[in-house]
Amino acid sequence: MQLHNFNSGPAILPKEVLDQAAAAIHNFNNTGLSILEIGHRTSHFVAVVEEAKQIVKRFMDIGDEYEVLFLQGGATMQFMQVPMNLLDENGLAAICDNGVWGNKAVKEAKLFGPVEVVSDSSDKKHTYLNKELELPQGTTYLHITTNNTVEGTQWHQYPQVNVPLIGDMSSDIFCRPTDFKKFDLIYAGAQKNMGAAGVTMVVIKKSLLGKVNRKIPAILDYQKHIEAGSLLNTPPVFSIYVSLLTLRWIEKEGGLVEMEKRNQEKATLLYNTIEAHPLFNCPIAKEDRSIMNAVFFLNDASKENEFLDLCKKSGMIGVKGYRTVGGIRVSMYNAMPLSSVQAFCDLMNHFS
């Protein structure tokens, strides 16, 4: 039976990336050493980091005013590392709370300075994005979660603001062409759309740094990581290498334009299938629906377990909704083939 991996993260990777990563575990670039064994300061691995940085800069069309870092700790660490480096008691963090991850960002930022929630969609269970933003005077930066993995919403146009814009792009990084220059800092855990768990990419405009008065521990100081070229301490070597392989794959397949074309096709197919059957219901505002994570429900909740059992028997992996939301969640990242989404839609048609 063929398996279809709809997990929200860690998520599906391209088969050729898996094959290349597996081969490198035994012999990395004909060195006779495993990628798991090479020194992180050797020319072999420095070349990996530098190539990954250059591909990221090509995708984002950014220059040397930005630095690309590969760090540990996941997006969860960035919830506190961003305000630790950027926010103090003399400023204010404006944050969009549009779901689980935005709410976590709010809580962590409050440890370092004043916070104002400028977008809150909890009144409708985060089924839409409140785009009417009013930034208080003295705002240091605006933080948004560009794609809400749990709730199934996505910013399709970013806020136009006159303060630095911070983006948590963990679940939609490189899913489409984007004006990345609108952002002063972007972070993304790799495990959803850009590689394996264990590494987080941070892209930061260097002029943003050095403006807070607090002492920052070296391991949490962006400037220290920039000075060390992401090698301040032993980085997650294998995860960075898998990210490089994934970035190469995206570029080889046609880049972000091609990724968007494929992702739109998959999302359109699934959302149209949901709407074709009275059995299913997607409460997410149409203009805010994510092309990465589709969240929907059965109108008759008593049939949900039966549907999930059928999914399991049919090789549909990871489609049960997040524990606080429930329902069904289908994640359709870059590596997800259209054929898997078609197979899931066929199953929905059969169940209906």
Q: Full-prediction pTM beyond 0.95? A: yes
- Residue 295, pLDDT score: 98
Q: Please tell me the predicted confidence (pLDDT) of residue 133.
A: 95
Please name the amino acid found at residue 158.
Y
Whether 123 is catalytic is no
pLDDT attached to residue 336: 98
* Residue-by-residue DSSP string for 194-241: TS-TT-EEEEEEGGGSS---S---GGG-HHHHHHTTT-SS---HHHHH
What per-residue confidence (pLDDT) applies to 63?
A: 97
* CA nearest to 135, candidates 105, 163, 102: 163
Q: Which pLDDT value is given to residue 48?
A: 98
| 285, two tokens | 């505002």
Residues 183, 162 contacting (CB under 8 angstroms)? no
Q: Domains along the chain?
A: 15-252 (3.40.640.10), 255-351 (3.90.1150.10)
Catalytic residue among 97, 168, 172, 288: 168
Digit-by-digit pLDDT tens for the chain (352 residues) are 899 999 999 999 999 999 999 999 999 999 999 999 999 999 999 999 999 999 999 999 999 999 999 999 999 999 999 999 999 999 999 999 999 999 999 999 999 999 999 999 999 999 999 999 999 999 999 999 999 999 999 999 999 999 999 999 999 999 999 999 999 999 999 999 999 999 999 999 999 999 999 999 999 999 999 999 999 999 999 999 999 999 999 999 999 999 999 999 999 999 999 999 999 999 999 999 999 999 999 999 999 999 999 999 999 999 999 999 999 999 999 999 999 999 999 999 999 9
For residue 64, CA distances in Å to 53, 67, 205, 220, 263 come to 11, 7, 9, 22, 30
| Catalytic residue status for 168 | yes
Distance CA 8, CA 44 (A): 32
Record the tokens describing residue 328, joined without a space: 């069904």
Rounded CA-CA distance 69/49 in Å is 9
Q: Which of 53, 97, 101, 155 is catalytic?
A: 101
pLDDT at 46: 97
- Would you call 179 a catalytic residue per the annotation? no
pLDDT value of position 275: 98
Note the pLDDT of residue 26. 98
Q: Rounded CA gap, 5 and 343, in Å?
A: 12
pLDDT of residue 226: 98
**Active-site entry in 53, 97, 155, 192:** 192
Residue 29, sorted as left (phi over 0), alpha (psi -120 to 50) or beta, turns out to be: left
